[in-house]
Amino acid sequence: MSTRNFGEPVKRVEDPRLVRGHGRYVDDIGDENTLHAAFVRSPHARATITDIDPEPAYDVDGVIAVYTYEDLDGALAEPMPLLIPHPDLTHPRHPYPLAKDRVNHVGEAVAMIVARDRYVAEDAAAAVRVTYEAAPAVVGLDRAVEAAELVHEDVPGNTAAVSTQSYGDAAGQIEDAPHRLSLTWDIERSAAMPIEGKGVHARWDAGDDKLTVWTSTQTSTGVRGAVSAKLGLDTSQVDVITPDVGGGFGVKIMHPWPEELLIPWASMRLGRAVKWTEDRREHFVSSAHERAQRLHVQVGFDDDGRVLGLEVDILHDNGAYIPYGLIVPINSSTQLLGPYKPAGYRVTFTSLYTNTVIVTPYRGAGRPQGVFAMERTMDRIAQYLGKDRMAVREANFLQPEDFPVEFGNLMFQDGRPLRYDSGNYPELARKLRDLVGWDDFAEYRAKAAEQGRRVGIGVGFYVEGTGPGPYEGAHVEILTSGKVKVATGLTSQGQGHQTVFAQIVADELGVAFADVAVTTGDTRRFAYSVGTFASRGAVMSGSAVALAARKVRTRITQVAADALEADPGDLEIVDGQVRVKGDPATAMALGTVAVLANPLRYAFDEASKAATQFAGGADFDKPPVAPGQAPGLDETDYYSPTHSTFAAGAHAVIVETDPETAEITILKYAVVHDCGPMINPRIVEGQIHGGVAQGIGGALYEVMSYDEAGQLTNASYMDFLMPYVSELPTRIEVDHLETPSPLNPLGVKGAGEAGVIPTSAAIAAAIEDAESFPITRMPISPSELYELRTRGSGAGTGTGSGTGPDADQQPLINTMPGTTARPWSATSEKETA
C-alpha cells in the first residue's frame, strides 16, 4: 500500500538546495549588461522640497539616467494605491513613487539613478542636490494626538480613521460589575527584518511587447496587477516571478513598493534590464514597521474573575501614509478577545499619522498588541482578586460545546463576521499546566530564592484568525512519465510549501512523495492568487491543491476504466498504479493513463503510440475527447471559504532576572498549539520555534528608536538588537492539540504566526512575577528593568506578584514615582512603567 504522507514529519525538499548555497534570489538574476538603480532618499522626516538639481549626477561616469517626480507619466504620476479601502478610513493619504513636493519620513524616495553598476549609481545619488525646507516632525503617539503639528495639512488631528465595533452593553456591564479596573498597555514600534531586503529585476522585451519582473514579494499576482495598472499594460503583458525569498514576515505582502513600479518603468524607457537590491539601511528607513500601539482597557468582573464588560480604546501609529489600510488595528481590536467572550465588548481604535515609516502587517499583524492587553488584564484581575492566574482564565474560557461562536456585529479583517469555527481552550490550558510545570512552580521558586535567585512565570493565550479569503487556486498535472506537477500562485518565503503541498498530492493521487514537484509564485504557471499572509498557505492553497488533485483522480479513474474495462468505482490508485480493487494484476501505470488521456495523431516515443488513432481499442460511437473534457490529465480548482478559520494556542515562560544587572534569562519556554490536523509536524514545530524567537526579540530586544526630529537612531544591526541563538532558550517545549476546522476539506488551520503572538504578554507577566512591580510596556531591556527597580520602593523582592500558582504571596506593589507603596488598587486610573 502507498505510504501515507499527511501527518508525517517529512523532511523539507527545499533545504538541500538552500543550505548548499544553491538558492536563487533576485540579486542573483541578471548579467553584465544589466543596469543598476539607486535612490536619493530624504534625510528629513518632514519637509518641503524646493528644488532638485540632478545635473551633478550626470558628471559621474557611467550614469544612464536620473529620474524625479517630474519625469513620471500617466498613472505612475498619481499617488500609490490604497490596497484595502474601508468605510472608516476617512482620510487616507499615500505617497508618490518619487516624492512630488513634500517628504513625510526619513527615507522617502526623492530621485532614482540608473547606471552601469550599483557603485556608480550610489556615487551619482550622492551628487544629486536636493533643497529642503524642514518642518517640525510628528513622532510618537503623544505628539500625534496633541496635533500641534500636522503630518498632512488637510488631515485634522492627524487622524486617518476612527473605528468602533461592539456587541452587548459593555459600558452597562462594567458599571454594574462588582469590580472594575482601568489599565493602559503599550507596545513599541518594531520591524520584520528579513535577512533579504526587497529587490526587483525587470526586463522589457519590445519585440514580444512583454515585461518580466522578478521581485522578492509575498504576492507575485498582486505585483503583476499593480504593475499592469500603473504602467498601462494588460496583465497578459506582464509576468511576475518570485524566486527564492530570504524571509518576508509580512513586510513583503505590502505591494507595490515604489521600486516595484519604478524599476519596470525604467526598463521600458531604456530598453534594458534594470535591477535594484535594497541595502540594510534602506530597509530600516523605507520599508514597513509595525507594533506601535497604546491600549486603554476598562474592565468589569465578578468575584470569580469572569469578565462581564470590556471597553478598549486603541491608539495606533500608522506612520506617514496608510497604503495597507486598517488591517493591523482591525486585527488588534477583533483578536484581542482571544479565547474569551465577555457579555459586552466595545472597542474603538484611532489610527494616527506620524512622520515615520509606514506601518503594515508584521508576523502577528496586530494580534500581539491585542493579546498583550487582554492577557495582562487577566493577570491584573487575578492579582486584584488574589487568585491563580490560570484559574481566572479558565473561568472565562469559551467551552468546546460553544462552537461555532458568534461575536455579534464584529467584523474580522476578511470583511466577514467574526466567528470561531472550532477549538478546545480548556484542554490547551490543561496541557500547558503539565508542559511548563505550573502547579509545581511555587516549590521551584522557593528553592531558587534560597539560592538568591529571582524567578517568575507567565502565561499568554490567544486565538488567531487564519486562512482569510477570498480564494487560492492550484493546478495539478500528471505527466506521461507518471510524475506530478503542481502549481499554485502562492509565494514561498521559507514555509515549506513545496513539501507540504507535495504531501497532500501524494496522498490524494496515490503516488510517491518524491514524484511530486511544486512550483509557487510564478504568474506564468498560475495566474490567479491573493498572496502569502495571515497564516493562510496550508488552509487556502493546501485546500485548493487537494481539490484539484481530487478532480484529477476522478479523471484518472474515468480514463483508466475505459482502458481496463472496469467501473470507475472499482478502481484504486496505489504506488502510481491504477488497479482493480481485489485484482491488483489488472492495472496500468499512471503515466500510461496520462498518455491515453491525450488522443494523438502523431507518436513521438513508444509510450505515445498507445494514444494514436490506429492503436486499437477505440469506441467508434464516441469522440476521442468526451464532451465536457479536455485533452491531458490535469485539472485546476479553487478554494474560497465562507469565513476564516481560527487556530489557538497558549504559551508559558519561566524567566530569571539577575538581582544586580537586571539581565533577563529565559529558563523554560512552553507552547501548546492547535492548528487542526498537522500536514507536517516537523514544519509546524519549525514555524513555532521561529515565531517564538521573533517574539522574544520583540519582547526583550527589538525597538525602532526615533528621536524627536524623526531620525531613526538605531538604523543598523550595530544598534538594532536582535536575539542570537545564545539569547534563546536551549529548548522550546511544544505540545499539540488538533481540533479540525469544519470549513475546509483538510480540516486544517494556520500555524505561521503562532509562535509570536502571545510572547510579549507571557514574558512581561513572568518578569512582573519575578520582580513584584508592574510591567506595562514592551519591549523591556535590562537597563529599563534596572531603572524601574531604582525608581521603586520595596520593589524587586522576588516574592512574586500574588498572581501565580502561589496566589497567597504578597500582593503586587505599586511603587511608581509620586506614590506611596500600597497594594495595587482597582481605582488606579492608569498603569505606567
Check: CB of residue 42 under 8 Å from CB of residue 99. Answer: yes
pLDDT in tens, 62-75: 999 999 999 999 99
Q: Determine how β-strand 732-736 pairs with β-strand 571-574.
A: unpaired
Cell of 394: 479558565
Peptide bond into 823 cis (omega under 30): no
- pLDDT given at position 276: 98
Residues contacting residue 641 through CB under 8 Å, at least 6 positions apart? 467, 468, 469, 539, 540, 743, 744
Q: Work out the average pLDDT over 416-422.
A: 97
pLDDT in tens, 98-114: 999 999 999 999 999 99
Check: CB of residue 242 under 8 Å from CB of residue 521. Answer: yes
Nearest-angstrom CA–CA distance, 139 and 150: 11
Query: Residue 622: what residue type?
Result: K
Sign of CA dihedral 252, 258, 259, 262: positive
User: For residues 531-567, b (16+ Cβ closer than 10 Å) or e, as one string?
Assistant: bbbbbbbbbbbbbbbbbbbbbbbebbbebbbbebebe
Peptide bond into 95 cis (omega under 30): no
- pLDDT given at position 281: 96
Nearest-angstrom CA–CA distance, 400 and 394: 13
Check: CB of residue 587 under 8 Å from CB of residue 577. Answer: yes
Q: Determine how β-strand 583-589 pairs with β-strand 577-580.
A: antiparallel
CB atoms within 10 A of CB 129: 12
**Angstrom distances, CA of residue 497 to CA of 24, 490, 558, 741, 749:** 17, 9, 30, 20, 15
Question: Phi first, then psi: what are they for 802, rounded to 5°?
Answer: 75, 15
- Over 90: is that where the pLDDT of 216 sits? yes
Q: Which of 793, 784, 785 is nearest to 814 (CA)?
A: 793
Helices (runs of H) and strands (runs of E) counted in the chain: 19, 31
Q: Which of 79, 148, 72, 137 is nearest to 107 (CA)?
A: 137
Q: What percent of the chain has pLDDT over 90?
A: 88
Where are any strands of DSSP class E within 467-576? 472-478, 484-488, 516-520, 571-574
Residues contacting residue 745 through CB under 8 Å, at least 6 positions apart? 543, 546, 547, 639
Check: CB of residue 671 under 8 Å from CB of residue 633. Answer: no
Q: Work out the average pLDDT over 453-468.
A: 97
- pLDDT given at position 828: 35
Peptide bond into 774 cis (omega under 30): no
Question: Look-up: residue for cell 482578586?
Answer: 385
Mean pLDDT, the chain, integer: 93
Nearest-angstrom CA–CA distance, 55 and 504: 58
Question: Phi first, then psi: what are they for 9, rounded to 5°?
Answer: -80, 60
Check: CB of residue 509 under 8 Å from CB of residue 575. Answer: no
- Over 80: is that where the pLDDT of 415 sits? yes
pLDDT in tens, 724-757: 999 999 999 999 999 999 999 999 999 999 999 9
pLDDT in tens, 225-242: 999 999 999 999 999 999
pLDDT in tens, 667-707: 999 999 999 999 999 999 999 999 999 999 999 999 999 99
Query: Residue 255: what residue type?
Result: H
Check: CB of residue 331 under 8 Å from CB of residue 366. Answer: yes
Give the side-chain half-sphere CA count within 13 A for 778.
Answer: 27
- Over 70: is that where the pLDDT of 285 sits? yes
- Give pTM, 2 decimals: 0.93
Question: Phi first, then psi: what are they for 787, rounded to 5°?
Answer: -65, -40
The band of 604, judged by pLDDT with boundaries at 50, 70 and 90, is confident
pLDDT in tens, 74-100: 999 999 999 999 999 999 999 999 999
Nearest-angstrom CA–CA distance, 637 and 639: 7
